Chains A and B, each alone.
Chain A
Amino acid sequence: MTQDRRTGTPVPGPRPGGDDRHDDLAERIAAALRSREPDAADTAAVALRIAARIEAADARSGLVTPFARRAGTIAVTGVVASALGMVGAGATAAANPYTDFAAAVDGVAHAVGVDWSSMPDGYTREQHDAFWDAGYSAEDQVELAELWSVDIIEVKARAGQMVLDGERLPFKPGTHTTSQPSAEEIASSQAFIDSGYTSEDLAALSALWNVDEMEAKVRAGEILLAGKPLPLP
C-alpha cells in the first residue's frame, strides 16, 4: 500500500528526447520542495495532536476509539521508515565512444599495449576526426548515406578515409544543413518533454498528424502551453 509512500523522488519517466536540463530541473524542484518538509519529530507531534482531536470528536459522538495513546509511537515509526526510503537515485553515465574522454581512454589503452578501441568495427578514430574536422554536417552524413546506400557509420568511415586520402567527396562540406529551430520551437519542444508524455505518445502524435517527430513535438508543446490537452487517450 502506498499510504505513506516515499517522497521527494523526482519521477524521471520515459521522456522523449529528454535531456540533462530536464533532470536537473526535476532534481532542483524536488530539493526545493523537500526543504520545506517537516522533520520527523514535528510530524509525529502534529500526528499525535490531530489523532487526539479526532478521538475527542469520536468521544463527543459517543464512540471511544483508544488509538491516540499509541499514535505518537506509530507516527514516529512511520516517519523514520519514510526517511530511510528517501535515498536519491544516482545518475547513470552513458557511454559515448566519440567523446574526448573515450579518445583519452583509447589512447591510454594503446599506450599500455592493449589492443582495444571504443570505436565500432571498421571505423577508426582518425576517420571520425577527419570527417568532422573537414566540416561535414550531420545532414551531409545523411545525404551521403542515401547516396551510397550505406549506414551512417560506414558513411563516416568511408568519407573520413577519402578525406585522409585526399580524395574528393560528392559535395563540399556543409552543403546540407537544417535551419536551427527558433527559441519558440525549442520552448514548445521542451514543454512536450516536460509534460510527461512518452516516446510512444510522440510516435502516435506523429502518425496522427502525419508529420515527423520533431514537428510533432513542437506542435504538441504549443498545444500544451496553450493549456489544452493533446488528442491522446
Chain B
Amino acid sequence: MTIWLETAGTDSAPTPRAAPAPAQDGDHPARARSLEELVRAHLPGLIRYATVLVGDQHTAADLVQEVLLRAHQRWHRITLTDRPDLYLRRMVTNEHLSWRRHWHVRMIRPTADDALVDHAGAGGDPAEHLAQQDAMWRRLARLPARQRTVLVLRYYEGLADAEIATVLGTSPATVRSHAARALATLRHTDPTFMETR
C-alpha cells in the first residue's frame, strides 16, 4: 500500500512510502502532527499574506482564524494535497473576496504614520518614500478585488501565474488578463509615468 507522507521536507511534492495502514482523521497522533505542521509551516506566512491582502491586521487575523477553524477538521486531508500552501491561500482568498462583497468597509484602512515609519527603508528622503508608498497602496486599494489579489500573489507572495491560477481557481490566461488590466490602471494613474510619456 502506498500513502503520502504528511511532511515533505523542503520540497512541496509529497513523497510516497510504504505503510501498513493510512492515518485516519480520527487518529489523534496524526492529527496532532498535522495541526502542529499547520502552525509551524503555514500560519505565519498565511497571516502575512492575509494582512497584505486585506490591508488591516485585525481583519486579517479574523479572516485566517475563520478559515482555519473551518479547515482544521480536515487538515489531515489538506496536507495530502500537492500544495497545501496554495490550498490555504485559496481558502483565505475566497473568504476575503466573499467578505469584501458583504463587508468591504472593513477591508482597506489607512495605516498609521508611525507604523509606516517602522517599515520605511533607510535610503532617500523617508517622508517622500513613505508618501510614494502610501500613494501606491491607495491606488492598489482602488483596484477591483480580483485584480488586486493577483498583484498581491504575484508581487508579494512571489507566485508564478500558474500558481496564482490555482489559488484563484481560474486559468493562467485569466490571471494574466487581470494582471495586465491592473497594471494598466496603475500605470495610467501614476504621475511619474505620465510625466515621461
A-side residues, CB < 8 A to B, are: 1-11, 21-22, 25-26, 28-39, 42-44, 46-47, 49-51, 53-55, 57-58, 61, 63-68, 70-71, 74-75, 78-79, 82, 183, 186-187, 190-192, 194-197, 221, 224-225, 227-230, 232
Contact = CB atoms under 8 A, between A and B. Distances in A.
B48 A38 contact: yes
A66 B180 CA distance: 46
A75 B39 contact: yes
B173 A46 contact: no
B51 A37 contact: yes
Given A29-B186, A38-B57, A63-B28, A191 B111 contact: no
Given A7-B156, A29-B151, A196 B43 contact: no
Contact of A67 (B36, B136, B174, B190): B36
Contact of B180 (A9, A61, A70, A191): A191
A65 B27 CA distance: 11
Interface in B1-24: 7-12
A183 B188 CA distance: 11
Given A35-B119, A54-B35, A63-B28, A29 B140 contact: yes
Interface of B: 7-12, 28, 31-32, 35-36, 38-45, 47-49, 51-52, 55, 57, 60-61, 64-65, 68-69, 72-73, 83-85, 111, 116, 118-121, 132-134, 136-137, 140, 151-152, 154-161, 171, 173-177, 179-181, 183-184, 186-188, 190, 193, 196-197
Interface of B is mostly: helix
Contacts of A30: 155-156
A49 B61 contact: yes
A130 to B, nearest CB: 30
A67 B179 CA distance: 39
Given A5-B157, A227-B177, 13 more contacts: A1-B9, A4-B42, A7-B48, A7-B156, A21-B187, A22-B183, A25-B186, A34-B52, A36-B52, A37-B119, A74-B39, A78-B40, A230-B173
Contact of B47 (A38, A66, A70): A38
A36 to B, nearest CB: 5
27 contacts: A4-B42, A5-B157, A7-B52, A11-B160, A21-B187, A25-B186, A28-B132, A29-B136, A31-B121, A31-B136, A32-B134, A34-B156, A35-B111, A36-B111, A37-B52, A39-B118, A47-B39, A51-B43, A57-B69, A63-B28, A65-B35, A67-B36, A75-B43, A191-B180, A191-B183, A196-B179, A224-B176
The 6 closest A-B pairs by CB, nearest first: A229-B173, A194-B183, A32-B136, A195-B180, A195-B176, A224-B180
B172 to A, nearest CB: 8
A32 B140 contact: yes
A94 B127 CA distance: 32
Contacts of A22: 183
A38 B58 CA distance: 10
Given A11-B158, A33-B155, A190-B184, A3 B51 contact: no
Interface of A is mostly: helix
A187 B194 CA distance: 12
A50 B35 CA distance: 12
Given A32-B140, A47-B39, A66-B32, A1 B161 contact: no
A22 B157 CA distance: 18
Contacts of A79: 44
Contacts of B180: 191-192, 194-195, 221, 224-225
The residue in B9, B10, B157, B188 that gathers the most chain A C-beta atoms within 10 A of its C-beta is B157
A50 B133 contact: no
Given A7-B156, A47-B43, A195-B179, A1 B8 contact: yes
